[in-house]
Structure 1
Amino acid sequence: MSDDAVDALEVDEFVEYCRTQAGLLSGRVETMGDEADALLDEIDREMAEIRSRLEALPDEVPGTETPSTADIPDTSEVDVAAIEELQEELEEKQLLVEAKQARMQAFQELAADYTDLAAELATEAADGQDALTRVIEFEADADAPVYFDERQTMLETAVASTDDE
């Protein structure tokens, strides 16, 4: 970015940029929350399926001996294997939910940090250059570009600008 372009920028523009970034991150957290809720609903349904299958298994009460035949499969073994498979799928989904929750936490923290930065810039930044420097340093320290797939951060813009020169 040229010095003339930076001089033309006002601190308020960087404050608004930080607020926008915080809003975008908060929106992403909501989306991830909906995704996590959907996974939790799937987990609940699968838990109900496992419970119903377990309830359907015959009790291990000794009964009268019947002649065994090699052609009839032991359905309890088949059901147990299917239940174990469902349980493994459940555990995988639970891990996904935990990972999503951790990611949501990270996004929430960055959104809060952007909000704090906006407040600091509004009260403490001397001029547009100071605000730009603080935003770029903040984004570098927070590794902010990782959080924005569809939008370029100030840091990325600055890096691209220096690469072009």
Structure 2
Amino acid sequence: MDDSPTVAEFVDYCELNAGLLAGRAETIGEEAAALLDDLDEELAAAREGLDEQRSAASTETPPSPDIPANEDREAVDSVADLESELGEKQALVAAKQARMAAFQDLAEAYTDLAGEVAGLDDPSAALERIVEFEKAHDAPTYFDERETLLEAVARESE
């Protein structure tokens, strides 16, 4: 009895990996959307705070031009802190969007690979093609909790 995987099982492996990657890309997209929502809320709160300060300042006596009011310095510091925080969050969103795109691209590539492998007759040729693919795409870095065929083959050859 031969326990070697069949070409169909290799196709299933590729399709499963594509699905896992697509799901991870969706999760990353949701995380990025949540960060964008946070950014929108923080910007709205900052605008509201500035509007309140402006309306309060317009009803008060203007401070001496030689000595800035403490409130003005606090407002400037607050805006600078907010700009820094928003810049960091925007960079995080951009990084998540780039990561999401990488996961989507690899998911599509695995789907294409499944079609390619399905056209092969020899399971060893299918395995070789998948291992080459995973090596070329650095696939193990995308799977934290799953061993790729590339890793399994490397472990067995040690």
TM-score normalised to structure 1 length:
0.85
CA apart distance, 1:127: 0.9
CA apart distance, 1:64: 5.3
Equivalent residue runs for 1:14-53 within 5 Å: 14-53=10-49
Whole-Å Cα distance in 2 between the matches of residues 78 and 16 of structure 1? 60
Whether 1:121 and 2:121 are equivalent positions in the alignment is: no
Whole-Å Cα distance in 1 between the matches of residues 5 and 61 of structure 2? 89
Of 128, 131, 140, the residue aligned with 1:133 is: 128
Unaligned runs of 5+ in 2: none
Equivalent residue runs for 1:49-128 within 5 Å: 49-58=45-54, 74-123=70-119, 125-128=120-123
| C-alpha RMSD over aligned residues | 2.2
Whole-Å Cα distance in 2 between the matches of residues 55 and 29 of structure 1? 39
Aligned to 2:152: 157
CA apart distance, 1:83: 1.7
CA apart distance, 1:95: 0.6
Aligned to 1:150, the other structure's residue is in SS state coil
Aligned to 2:157, the other structure's residue is in SS state helix
TM-score normalised to structure 2 length:
0.89
Count of residues paired in the alignment = 153
Unaligned runs of 5+ in 1: none
Deviations 1:52-78 (A, max 9, x none): 1221223777x75778xx9xx611210
